[in-house]
C-alpha cells in the first residue's frame, strides 16, 4: 500500500457543504502507513463543520476498505483563514439551484425574518414568533441563519452541542415545541466563523436539505442583518418564502430596514408585514406609554412596501431577561410582549400563503 492507494480510496468521500471530494479539495494531509496502522489528518473548512462526524465516519469506512489488518486513525483539524480564502476562491457555483424539501408545492410556509441592521431584535422576534405559532398548535421549524452571530440556542435555553444524525442527516433538537438548527450548536464559546460566500451558501443548503425536518407547517429563518450572501442564497433557494421585516421606530433604523424590504421586492418575494420592536415603554408606576425611540418608522416601511404593520412589541425588561434565560416571553401569552407575539401569529395565520396570494 502507498499514498496513492489511500487517496484513491478517499476520493469517494465528499465534503457535504462543498459537494466535492475531500481529495480534490486538498483536505487530506499527513498520510502515515505502518505495518499495523493507517492514519490520515483531515483539515475541514472549520472546526465547527456541522457534519464533521459524518465525514469522519465515511473516511474511516473508506480507509478500512484498503487498510487490511491495519488499525485506522483519522485526525480532524481545521484550515487556516488563508487556506479557507484560497479554497473559497477555487470553488465554483454548481449550475442550477439545489433542491430543498421546501420548494414549490410543499405544504410548509417559509417565513424569512429580515432586518437592515443588527441590534433591532430580529432574533428575538423570530424566536418568539416561532414559539407563539407552536403554542397555537402548529408544527414549527427554525433555522438560525445568522452564521456569524447565532443567538437562537441561547434564547431557547439549549445546550450548544452538535445534534445527532440519522441516515446521514441531522436530527434537529427541539425546545418549546420548535425544531431548531443553528451554527451555534457546532461552535465552541467565542469561536468565530471565518467563511466567504460559497461556504455560507453551502451551509444554508445543508440546513435546508440535510436536516430531518419532517413536514412542518411553518419554517422560520432568522436571517443575518443586511442584504448579503446568506440572504441572497435563501432568496434563490426558496422562491416561495415570505418575508417579515423587523425594525425599531427611529428613522435611522427604519431607513436601513427599508433596504431589506427593497431586496425582497427585487427578488420577487412577498413581504407579509413589518414588525416594530422596542416600540414603546410602559411606565410601571403610571402606566403611560413612552415612545423612547420615536415612532412612525415601521409604518413608513410598510406603506412603501405595500404591506401591513403586523404589530408593535413593547420595550420591557421581561423580554430581555426571559430571552437570556431561554424562556421566550411568548410562552406566556398574557404577558405584555407575549400577547403581542400571539397577536402577530394570529394575523399570519389569516394571511394566504405566498403561493395562494
Joined grid coordinates for residue 226: 443586511
**pLDDT-derived band of residue 73, with 50, 70 and 90 as boundaries?**
very high
Checking if the pLDDT of 24 tops 90, the result is no
The pTM of this model reads 0.71
Domain boundaries, the chain: 3-90, 109-350
Average pLDDT for 310-329: 87
pLDDT: is 287 or 62 the higher one?
62
pLDDT tens for 33-51 read 999 999 999 998 777 777 7
C-alpha R_g of the chain: 23
How far is 50 from 303, CA to CA, in rounded Å? Answer: 41
pLDDT the model gives residue 284: 80
Task: Say which residues have a Cβ less than 8 Å from residue 273's Cβ, sequence separation at least 6.
Answer: 244, 245, 302, 307, 308, 309, 310, 344, 347, 348, 351
pLDDT the model gives residue 259: 78
Task: Name beta bridge partners: 175.
Answer: 178
Count Cβ atoms below 10 Å from residue 74 Cβ, excluding itself: 17
- In the numeric block, the cell 502507498 is attached to 2
Among candidates 219, 207, 337, which has minimal Cα distance to 278?
A: 337
User: In the CATH hierarchy, which top-level class contains the domain 3-90?
Assistant: alpha beta
Joined grid coordinates for residue 267: 427578488
Same-fold call for 3-90 versus 109-350: no
pLDDT the model gives residue 95: 40
Q: What percentage of the chain has pLDDT greater than the value 90?
A: 33
User: In the CATH hierarchy, which top-level class contains the domain 109-350?
Assistant: alpha beta
| Three-state DSSP class for residue 317 | helix
Mean pLDDT of the chain: 84
Joined grid coordinates for residue 142: 427554525
pLDDT the model gives residue 357: 53
Joined grid coordinates for residue 151: 443567538
Highest mean pLDDT among 42-56, 94-108, 142-156: 142-156
Amino acid at each position: 500500500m502507498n499514498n496513492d492507494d489511500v487517496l484513491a480510496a478517499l476520493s469517494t468521500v465528499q465534503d457535504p457543504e462543498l459537494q466535492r471530494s475531500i481529495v480534490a479539495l486538498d483536505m487530506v494531509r499527513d498520510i502515515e502507513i505502518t505495518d499495523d496502522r493507517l492514519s490520515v489528518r483531515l483539515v475541514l473548512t472549520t472546526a465547527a463543520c456541522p457534519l464533521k462526524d459524518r465525514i469522519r465516519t465515511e473516511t474511516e469506512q473508506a480507509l478500512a476498505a484498503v487498510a487490511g489488518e491495519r488499525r485506522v486513525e483519522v485526525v480532524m483539524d481545521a484550515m487556516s483563514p488563508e487556506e479557507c480564502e484560497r479554497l473559497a476562491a477555487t470553488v465554483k457555483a454548481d449550475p442550477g439551484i439545489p433542491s430543498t424539501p421546501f420548494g414549490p408545492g410543499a405544504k410548509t410556509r417559509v417565513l424569512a425574518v429580515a432586518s437592515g441592521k443588527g441590534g433591532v431584535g430580529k432574533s428575538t422576534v423570530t424566536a418568539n414568533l416561532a414559539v407563539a405559532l407552536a403554542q397555537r398548535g402548529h408544527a414549527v421549524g427554525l433555522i438560525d441563519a445568522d452564521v456569524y452571530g447565532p443567538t437562537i440556542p441561547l434564547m431557547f435555553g439549549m445546550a450548544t452541542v452538535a445534534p445527532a444524525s440519522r441516515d446521514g442527516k441531522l436530527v434537529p433538537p427541539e425546545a418549546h415545541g420548535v425544531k431548531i438548527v443553528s451554527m451555534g450548536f457546532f461552535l465552541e464559546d467565542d469561536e468565530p466563523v471565518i467563511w466567504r460566500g460559497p461556504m455560507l451558501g453551502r451551509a444554508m443548503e445543508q440546513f435546508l436539505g440535510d436536516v430531518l425536518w419532517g413536514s412542518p407547517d411553518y419554517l422560520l429563518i432568522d436571517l443575518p442583518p443586511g442584504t448579503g450572501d446568506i440572504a441572497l442564497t435563501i432568496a434563490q433557494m426558496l422562491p416561495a418564502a415570505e418575508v417579515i421585516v423587523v425594525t425599531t421606530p427611529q428613522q435611522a433604523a427604519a431607513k436601513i430596514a427599508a433596504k431589506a424590504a427593497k431586496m425582497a421586492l427585487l427578488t420577487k418575494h412577498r413581504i407579509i408585514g413589518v414588525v416594530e420592536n422596542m416600540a414603546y415603554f410602559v411606565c410601571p408606576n403610571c402606566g403611560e406609554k413612552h415612545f423612547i425611540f420615536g415612532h412612525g418608522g415601521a409604518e413608513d416601511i410598510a406603506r412603501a412596501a405595500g404591506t401591513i404593520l403586523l404589530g408593535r412589541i413593547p420595550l420591557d425588561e421581561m423580554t430581555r431577561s426571559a430571552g437570556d434565560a431561554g424562556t421566550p416571553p411568548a410562552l406566556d401569552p398574557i404577558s405584555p410582549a407575549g400577547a403581542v407575539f400571539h397577536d402577530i401569529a394570529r394575523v399570519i395565520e389569516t394571511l394566504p400563503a405566498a403561493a395562494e396570494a
